[in-house]
Chain A
Amino acid sequence: MEKELNLGKDNVIVAINLEKSYKIEDEVYPILKGVNLNVKRGELLALMGPSGSGKSTLLNLLGVLDTPDSGEYYLDGQLVTKKLDLAKIRNQKVGFIFQTFNLIPRITIVENVEVPMIYAGIPLKQRKERALLLLQKVGLGHRLHSQPNQLSGGERQRTAIARALANNPSIIFADEPTGNLDSKTGNTILDLLKDLNEKDGVTIVIVTHDDNIAKMCDRIVKIKDGKIEA
């Protein structure tokens, strides 16, 4: 089985027949109806789909924020189940970039980048060094001690990218990363992501409904009515 699916070696993500439904007032709404998906290591993948297609729910499962009702999900070769320490898996293997940036207010951007490393138990000095390095890498070396509300949208998203890279994750999920940015700023963010993918080999899944963004990715996966379209 392991050999067949090539779990973990070439494929960062192997999702087999994932199902998820929500129950609202005794009524069951199936959202994902058997999703199969592989993401290769080093791939830049676009996940597309209209709203209500189950895109966000799939992203929650793949990002280990939630677990499927049935089906198997292997992240980096490891079967993800409820019994595992999901917080630790998120911390070690997953990086998130959100449409609304989701930085923690009232702390500096260095401190924001440090947060995942704090939960990983990395000592202060190493944390600071790495946060600095990452912020320089995304071009924010000059704004280290600003707080998120002092930054432009593009700068906030750069901070979020640096934060997503903090613990060297196996995969980064970018959920509409340019959705709150003007097209020029959006393009620089996309360039940054593409750069990370090409030069550093970071595996990235970008959720978008913008065809132009999708076209620059290695592969496009479309989801509709809770299923991956062929």
Chain B
Amino acid sequence: MIQVIVEDLRSAIQSILSNKVRSFLTMLGVIIGVFSVVTLISLVQGLDKQIRDQFSNIGSELIFVVAGDIESSNPFSESSTFARLKRTDIAVLKSVENIKNATPQYQLPVKVKNLDREQNGIMIGIASDFASVFSLKLEAGEFYRLNNEEKVVVGFKVANNLYGSPARAIGQKIIAGGKSYQIKGVLKDNKGKQARFEFNDAIFVPPLTMEQNHDVSLAEIVVKLENPDLLLETKRELSKALLKEHGEKDFSILTNEDLGDILGNITGFLSIVLGGITSISLLVGGIGIMNIMLVNVTERTKEIGIRKALGATNFSILTQFMIEAVIVSLIGGIIGLLLGYITGYIIDLVANFQSSISLTTVLLSLGFSLLVGVVFGIAPAYNASKRDPVEALRYE
């Protein structure tokens, strides 16, 4: 048996080598299939890793309370869509043990302008001691201190566009969403970095000021912990306290890990959808293999007859052609994998990205090409094994 399989392997390689162009064209379908699957998945996984890294930078001492039960099975349920947090919730949250501070966080798209220029921006209302939530670093000036002063911190691009440079923007007047503020600080350039918002276009305002001056609803409260080690316990206590207050679970309490997970779910979904679509090309590749193997079997009918006359069983003919199909497919898979790897590497270099090919991706793509070889090789191989030796010998 082992002798026969070794012979099958040798014969398969010989057959592949003896017709290099045809073998390569046969492989091409699998090469393209595996290549596209590997490239897409590595990009999506890289994205996923980047998102998670970013959220782990936020710091584990923070908990986000948001409106709507986004953890429930149906994220578009009525309670999620129309749920709002109340200002009184802040006091409720603050009363829980291990809470150092809590701030409302508002967001509002606004027009930002001075006397002669304007641009689109996003107004973010947040307490100054939560600047770390977004890893905010200042280029010039300083952060506002009070929650109700009429002073703001603007993004790098806003300062450049409206005033020419960050230093010149300090102390100037700025009109955002129709209200006038004084610029107290300018953020460092955030270009090219992934973030929850485009900070370069942002204008940070004290939360109470934002409540008074603009029509905003409370969608998110950020809570800072005294002792980050008690993260999970505190999360539970916060949930209990808020549930008692609201009477139903129309809110979600998220740690930075949870946020990463939520976005991770999106990337997971993306990799399934994209992987599924590109798998179709693998299917097409498999059909290509089947087609060529059928031609191959017909062409080698005489050889099948000779081998049978010399004592080959149906099974050994079956394995011979099967192994040939599997090897073609597997070599195609390996080439596709290498090409995918190289492409990921080039994208990383060019786009300053970190794609990631996991062992699972490698095993999965090789496993899939193996499967393609088996599935699409079996029909031609079975066909070959069933040839009548007398007929096959007579074939010219």
Instruction: Write the residues of chain A forming the contact surface with B, with a CB cutoff of 8 angstroms.
Output: 60, 63, 65-66, 85, 87-88, 90-92, 96, 98, 102-107, 115-116, 118-124, 163, 167
Q: List 25 A-B contacts (CB under 8 A).
A: A60-B390, A63-B309, A65-B393, A88-B313, A90-B311, A91-B310, A91-B311, A102-B309, A102-B393, A106-B14, A106-B15, A107-B11, A115-B7, A115-B307, A116-B311, A118-B3, A118-B7, A119-B312, A119-B316, A121-B1, A121-B3, A123-B3, A124-B6, A163-B310, A167-B311
Considering the complex, give the chain B residue whose CB is closest to the CB of A101.
Answer: B306
Cβ proximity bits B344-372 to A, threshold 8 Å, 1 near / 0 not? 00000000000000000000000000000
Q: Which residues of A contact B18 (CB under 8 A)?
A: 106
Q: Which residues of B contact A104 (CB under 8 A)?
A: 303, 306-307
* Interface footprint category on B: 20 to 34
Q: Which residues of A contact B228 (CB under 8 A)?
A: none
Residue B4 lies at the interface, judged by CB distance under 8 Å to chain A:
yes
Considering the complex, give the chain A residue whose CB is closest to the CB of B313.
Answer: A87
On whether the beta carbons of A65 and B389 are closer than 8 Å, the reply is: yes
CB distance from A102 to the nearest CB of B (A): 5
Q: Which residues of A contact B309 (CB under 8 A)?
A: 63, 65, 90, 96, 102
- Give the distance in Å from the alpha carbon of A115 to the alpha carbon of B316 in the complex: 12
Q: A106-B14, A106-B18, A107-B14 are in contact. Are A87 and B3 (CB under 8 A)?
A: no
A-B contacts at CB below 8 angstroms, number: 67
- Give the distance in Å from the alpha carbon of A66 to the alpha carbon of B392 in the complex: 12
Instruction: Write the residues of chain B forming the contact surface with A, with a CB cutoff of 8 angstroms.
Output: 1, 3-4, 6-7, 11, 14-15, 18, 302-303, 305-314, 316, 389-390, 393
- Give the distance in Å from the alpha carbon of A65 to the alpha carbon of B15 in the complex: 26
Which one of B15, B303, B307, B311 lies within 8 Å of A92 (CB-CB)? B311
On whether the beta carbons of B314 and A87 are closer than 8 Å, the reply is: yes
- Give the distance in Å from the alpha carbon of A80 to the alpha carbon of B156 in the complex: 93
Q: Which residues of A contact B14 (CB under 8 A)?
A: 106-107
On whether the beta carbons of A87 and B306 are closer than 8 Å, the reply is: no
Q: Which residues of B contact A90 (CB under 8 A)?
A: 308-311
- Give the distance in Å from the alpha carbon of A122 to the alpha carbon of B7 in the complex: 12
Considering the complex, give the chain B residue whose CB is closest to the CB of A164.
Answer: B310
- Give the distance in Å from the alpha carbon of A124 to the alpha carbon of B11 in the complex: 15
Considering the complex, give the chain B residue whose CB is closest to the CB of A89.
Answer: B311
